[in-house]
Amino acid sequence: MNDVVIRTEGLSKQYYIGGKQEAYRTLRDTLAGAFAAPFRRASKLLRGHAAAAAELHETIWALKDFSLEIKRGEAVGVIGRNGAGKSTLLKILSRITDPTQGYAEIRGRVGALLEVGTGFSSELTGRENIYLNGAILGMKRADIGRKFDEIVAFSEIEKFIDTPVKHYSTGMYLRLAFAVAAHLEPEILIIDEVLAVGDMGFQEKCLGKMGEVTGEGRTVLFVSHNLQAISSLTKRSILLHAGQLVFDGDTYAALGHYRALGSNKHTTHAEYVDTNKRTGVTRVRVITSEPNQIHRFGKELVFEFEVMFKEKPKTGTLSFQVVDEHLRSIIHPWCSASDEPGLSRAGTLLLRCVIPRPHLYMGRYTVTAHLSDASTWAHFESIVGICPFEVVMDGFEEVMGGISREYQWENTCTYLEDVQWKVW
């Protein structure tokens, strides 16, 4: 028990929606409200506000009956879909909000980065906010002073350290906030998805620092939709769904449960559609190996394109890129008129590209499509960031099976008399 630094029991948080919750009501307020309510409802009903006439104060449980124990030195990932209760949990653990029911025991100083600028005074300078946050954590001024230069160097905002933070950009806020949270030696570090605000280089820098923190025996709770970051930083993860804890255990197993949520409600493809075009790429489909736009590492991946040429191009070329979260092009296949003469005639056609074992590691990807007439550029078109999908793996042993950058175009230039998407 002495090694447990976070313990929750029956933790629940209820919010009111559709109406304001008054903190205090006198007997006079209650009687006056009860007398006036029928007249307010009748007035709204006459104005056509039937839904408002009910004046229902609906409630929602953002967190319900949550019990958990986390030991000193553990790095724990917190995953779940939007609205699952992740941020509510972290706000309760950070003492920003109180639970409706249950309790949480926390042993040690907590450094939290939940929202950009949380805990900062906008009128104070960056320097003053560093000392303010250190004092809140219970550190002595001399201890903060020893860490000061390291914090400023990590944040990379030396030039603006004596400027009031109200003049900082969002990125500058984030850099300083993370540097303070990570370097003032909190025994428990709580990080929300706020890191996604930073640029790619700073995100990698932050992840490296969190790895150092866990190596020093401090506890880290990390919320992120970046499953690759979760898997690289943590060995244990908890999965929240509809405010409840549905899994607590090995990170890879947690990611599997996360991907399975709602898998029966989704198709096995990501799709882009723009049928209003008279010329260009009208539809793109990425067919994944599993439902919910999830593709398992090493499985065959299929890309389908519906292309319309109103007029005959001289040298039509279709290419596309598979782009990762850092906007890096990982795969770049193309098909031109020299490969398939059908790309040089007017009409609507289907192109299908099959990659047996794509060079895509775990992470989220999108597609960028390019259509052009290489000689005149008359039909040039670029569609960026379409058909998002995610590549997953159960363990690094899957990599040993080998991967391939090879691809092949199948069923090229299948012309359609009626422009409809063909199900392959």
pLDDT value at position 230?
82
pLDDT tops 60 at residue 151: yes
pLDDT tens-place string over residues 15-64? 876 545 555 556 566 666 666 666 665 665 566 554 444 444 578 888 99
* Cα 348 from Cα 109, distance rounded (Å): 64
Total-model pTM: 0.58
DSSP assigned state of 242: T
- Residue 414, strand partner residues: 350
Domain boundary among 263, 292, 324: 263
> Both 322 and 409 in a single domain?
yes
pLDDT value at position 40?
63
- What CATH number is associated with residue 325? 2.60.40.1930
Could you tell me the two tokens for 66? 């949550």
Is residue 389 within 8 Å of 365, Cβ to Cβ? yes
More confident site: 352 or 43:
352
To 10 degrees, the CA torsion angle through 353, 357, 358, 360? 150
Is residue 180 within 8 Å of 126, Cβ to Cβ? no
Domain boundary among 238, 263, 288: 263
pLDDT tens-place string over residues 288-334? 888 878 888 888 899 988 887 777 766 778 888 998 887 788 888 87
* Cα 315 from Cα 170, distance rounded (Å): 46
> What DSSP line would sit under 156-168, residue for residue?
T-GGGTTSBGGG-
> Both 28 and 70 in a single domain?
no
pLDDT tens-place string over residues 270-280? 888 876 776 78
Lowest mean pLDDT among 226-235, 314-323, 340-349, 366-375: 340-349
Whether 11 is in a domain gets the answer no
The rounded Cα 281 to chain-centroid distance in angstroms is 28
CB neighbourhood size of 63 (10 A)? 28
> Both 233 and 278 in a single domain?
no
Whether 423 is in a domain gets the answer no
> Both 216 and 324 in a single domain?
no
pLDDT tens-place string over residues 355-366? 888 878 888 898
DSSP assigned state of 148: H
Give helix 126-136 / helix 170-183 axis angle, nearest 10°.
Answer: 40
Q: Which residues contact 240 (CB under 8 A, 6 or more apart)?
A: 78, 79, 80, 84, 85, 86, 89, 246
The parent domain of residue 398 ranges over 267-415
> Which of 258, 267, 296, 291 lies closest to 395 in space, CA to CA?
296
> What DSSP line would sit under 352-421, residue for residue?
EEEESS-S--SEEEEEEEEEEETTT-TT-EEEEEEEEEEEE-S-GGGGGG------EEEEEEEE-SS--P
Could you tell me the two tokens for 403? 């991967």
Number of structural domains (the chain) is 3
